[in-house]
Structure 1
Amino acid sequence: MEQGLKILVIRFSSMGDIIYTTPVVRCLKKQLPGAQIHFLTKPAFKYIYDNNPYVDKLHLLKTTLKETIADIEAEKFDYIIDLHNNLRTSLIKWKTGIKSFTYNKQTIRKWLSLKLHLQLVPPIHLVERYMQTVSLLGIKNDDKPIDYYIKANYSLQTLLPATHQQGYIVFIIGATHFTKRMPNNKIISVCNKIGLPVVLLGGKDVQANAAEIEAAVGEKVYNACGVTTLDQSVYLVSKSQKVIGFDTGLTHIAEAFNVPIASVWGSTVPELLGVQPYKVKDAQVIGIELPCRPCSKFGLEKCPLGHFKCMNEIPENVIVNFVNNA
């Protein structure tokens, strides 16, 4: 492969999908001598690549696609690596005429898998699927974890009460859609059975949930939902003993720190999208088999059948035993 290539990698969303592009970017930078690696994403996801040493320049999607295309043309890229494969990226590739390698989303197979409840998509991790996209450039997976670089120097003393500074479990209770979240009563029950103090993490959208959980469990639980920034939340994850989380971006970012993870799944399943925990030595995927599961790829605002068995019937002892066992 010739030296000094200039390559643009594109992935617009979401948090989890973008964090899984980091091994591809790392391998491109390390395996192509002298290559310049640029990355294009939405402004909302800039933080994922801030401080990443394998990206030479970070580009953010402009207000109009025309502006973005003009920026790309000005850079004179040799290749585009399209890890999103949607209408916008197709237009970018068509308008710029730059040679490209495009991620195969297997959209039809995923749709059929979901509708027919069949495993028509091989349970290959998304990182491996991305790696297939760059294999024609001679890139091989280095089999290392995903990358996330914490932006500042934090301390547990400034972020947590004294009761939680000597060791704690992180419980990530947030998720974009309701059917990815465990009901409060289940979370309360699990927290009561955990031996260590618990730190609740999530956005402002789950602050009320977290307040209810904290009130029910007591001082053992510290509610940091909507209080810490995302970067601070990642820091707390990195210093935790273990993590319990749902199908959400922060749970996936936790994989960068090789902290033991109990990955709890409701209406979605990791095999369909290839987002099971990646390169984590101690991880357990927890979900139950149901005729109606999965009911969606990304989660829904309510259970279509009204019973929400996929979360209501999750065996709490599996989570508790994973967390409490040394």
Structure 2
Amino acid sequence: MLEHSKVLLIQTAFLGDAVLATALLEKIRIESPYTEIHILVRKGNESLFKAYPYPNLRRVWTYNKSKKWSSWLELRHDLRSEHFDAVFVIQRFFGMGLLSLNIGAKRVVGFDKNPLSLFFTEKVKHEWGTGVHEVERNTALVQSWLGGKVFRPCLKAAEIDLGPEMRKKEYICISPGSVWETKRLPIRIWIEFIQLLPQDQVVVLMGSPGEIDLSNQIAEAFHGSNRVILNETGKHPLLASAYIFQQSMMSFVNDSGPMHICSAENVPTVAVYCSTVPSFGFGPLADWNRIVETNVALTCRPCGDHGKKNCPLGHYACGEGIEANAIFQAYQEYLSARSQ
């Protein structure tokens, strides 16, 4: 059996991808508890790992994409001095594949879709679009070392003061944003969903500073009403946001980073899919979850592996065709399940 005393995971993609990589942290921690783990993530995502509560994760390294090659060169220099037994390249792109081959690790394991996979010690088939979840794909990278058992991603954010209106496990979170516009449920549908909720249901709007306008549109639709809409978008650092999700009764999200945070915290989740599809392998992993998507078979969906800045055909039927009542039905299902 292979033994690794010190390993590096590389995942410098978006926030959600970094969250899902914590499933590998869990697998290594539990199945090889004496292995020292390092992880390399995109600059801006490093604070998230303060919510990973185990000392097996020794260090979080960052790659600054705004400085690209200077950051790459600095990392190559610094990582070489760490003398890793193995590097697991979760990404499929050239830059990180090249870095993994230039830091002197004894083994380099990555996906066969990486342009440099020919030079890896071991390359692993990357399955896409078949329903295999990303955490299963990632687990395949360490299978020759630790076997194929899959673990759930894990985050446990530290407690913060929520204030009097956010009572733990009573409010719901809605995250209307996404990096990609074609992953965003139209705002009018979120508004219609909130109108269906009981009058006393507290709603907390969540998102990054760049998504403030989306949440403002929702909040303004209820200005002057008796509904309690707490617009927390852009007001909290990443760890505090994670705690707000963690303490919600349930969360409603697009196919985006907040969904994966909820998976890692096991928060009941309703995930809305517009232009992307669950079979890509990025679905919710909480014990209780529901997926909402259009029930119309669209020949144009999915329109790509990721979201797009706008609908290529101009109609956005994959988002506009989703009904608020379907989201509300998921809300009712959870309340019914919780009361049993």
RMSD: 2.2
**Is contact 1:13–1:45 with CA below 8 Å preserved after alignment?**
no
Determine the structure 2 residue equivalent to 1:91. Answer: 98
**Is contact 2:101–2:108 with CA below 8 Å preserved after alignment?**
no
Instruction: Return the offset for 1:48.
Output: 2.5
**Is contact 1:3–1:33 with CA below 8 Å preserved after alignment?**
no
Instruction: Return the offset for 1:149.
Output: 3.0
Deviations 1:46-98 (A, max 9, x none): 02222531311222226432221111110111111111131112212332342
**Is contact 1:31–1:139 with CA below 8 Å preserved after alignment?**
no
Q: Secondary structure at the match of 2:205?
A: strand
Determine the structure 1 residue equivalent to 2:272. Answer: 264
Determine the structure 2 residue equivalent to 1:213. Answer: 218
Distance across 2 between alignment mates of 1:134 and 1:2: 10
Deviations 1:263-296 (A, max 9, x none): 0011111212x10112x22111111231111112
**Is contact 2:183–2:307 with CA below 8 Å preserved after alignment?**
yes
Tell me which of 67, 71, 84 is aligned to 1:77: 84
Count of aligned pairs: 307
Distance across 2 between alignment mates of 1:51 and 1:179: 30
1:190 aligns with 2:193: yes
Tell me which of 177, 182, 187 is aligned to 2:180: 177
Distance 1:140 1:194, change over 3 A: same
Report the TM-score when normalising by structure 1. 0.87
Q: Secondary structure at the match of 2:291?
A: strand
Distance 1:33 1:316, change over 3 A: closer
Determine the structure 2 residue equivalent to 1:165. Answer: 167
Determine the structure 2 residue equivalent to 1:6. Answer: 6
Distance across 1 between alignment mates of 2:49 and 2:209: 23
1:50 aligns with 2:50: yes
Distance across 1 between alignment mates of 2:73 and 2:215: 43
Distance across 2 between alignment mates of 1:242 and 1:36: 35
Stretches of structure 2 lacking an aligned partner (at least 5 in a row): 65-69, 116-126, 336-340
1:156 aligns with 2:162: yes
**Is contact 1:28–1:139 with CA below 8 Å preserved after alignment?**
no
Distance 1:155 1:263, change over 3 A: same
Determine the structure 2 residue equivalent to 1:293. Answer: 301
Partner amino acid for 2:59? Answer: K
| Higher percent of residues as helix | 1
Distance across 1 between alignment mates of 2:81 and 2:100: 14
**Is contact 2:84–2:104 with CA below 8 Å preserved after alignment?**
no
Tell me which of 127, 130, 137 is aligned to 2:138: 130
Determine the structure 1 residue equivalent to 2:123. Answer: none
| 1:21-40 mapped onto 2 (5 Å cutoff) | 21-40=21-40
**Is contact 1:171–1:198 with CA below 8 Å preserved after alignment?**
yes
Q: Secondary structure at the match of 1:38?
A: strand
Partner amino acid for 2:77? Answer: A
Q: Secondary structure at the match of 1:149?
A: coil
Stretches of structure 1 lacking an aligned partner (at least 5 in a row): 108-118
Report the TM-score when normalising by structure 2. 0.84
Distance across 1 between alignment mates of 2:321 and 2:89: 39
Over the matched positions of the two proteins, sequence identity in percent amounts to 25
Partner amino acid for 1:324? Answer: Q
Determine the structure 2 residue equivalent to 1:116. Answer: none
Distance across 2 between alignment mates of 1:103 and 1:4: 20
Tell me which of 59, 62, 78 is aligned to 2:61: 59
Distance 1:17 1:38, change over 3 A: same
Determine the structure 1 residue equivalent to 2:118. Answer: none
Partner amino acid for 1:34? Answer: Y
Determine the structure 2 residue equivalent to 1:283. Answer: 289
